[in-house]
């Protein structure tokens, strides 16, 4: 079994984050720009992933559902022993943080809603 370096683990983390849809919008949390930072640390031979992320609205209700989804997805990576999520609200999220792919998915979803 190949041992992954931190860059390879980070790429796997990003791929896992891309599988998690926002709870309100039809776009994944990575393409929405909700992920501000990922860091990988090796502490006592354990791989710890820390994710700094935000929510679309700082007044959003509970962060528990999305925290559970993120932690569960990232901890399925064989090399990852633990995933911690830290919510940050500076800078405040806005549409400019979305990837081009995320914006297109949002536009596509909006056009499908108007066609119904």
Q: Tell me, what CATH number does 86's domain have?
A: 3.30.300.130
Domain assignment of residue 55, yes or no: yes
Instruction: Starting at the earlier edge strand, list the strands of the sheet with 46-53.
Output: 35-43, 46-53, 82-87
Q: How confident is the model at residue 111 (pLDDT cuts 50, 70, 90)?
A: confident
Q: What is the pTM of this model?
A: 0.88
Span 102-106, average pLDDT: 91
The partner residues of 52 in beta bridges, in order of sequence, read 37, 86
Domain assignment of residue 1, yes or no: no
pLDDT at residue 1 in the model:
53
Q: How confident is the model at residue 112 (pLDDT cuts 50, 70, 90)?
A: confident
Structural domain boundaries enclosing 33: 6-115
Least confident window among 31-35, 39-43, 76-80, 109-113: 109-113
């Amino acid at each position: 079994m190949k041992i992954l370096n931190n860059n390879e683990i980070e790429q796997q983390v990003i791929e896992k984050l891309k599988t998690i849809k926002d709870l309100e919008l039809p776009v994944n949390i990575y393409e929405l720009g909700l992920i501000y930072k990922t860091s990988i640390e090796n502490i006592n031979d354990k791989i710890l992933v820390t994710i700094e992320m935000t929510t679309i609205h700082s007044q959003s209700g509970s962060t528990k559902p999305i925290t559970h989804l993120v932690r569960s997805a990232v901890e399925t990576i064989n090399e990852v022993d633990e995933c911690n999520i830290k919510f940050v609200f500076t800078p405040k999220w806005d549409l400019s943080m979305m990837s081009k792919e995320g914006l297109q998915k949002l536009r596509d979803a909006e056009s499908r809603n108007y066609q119904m």
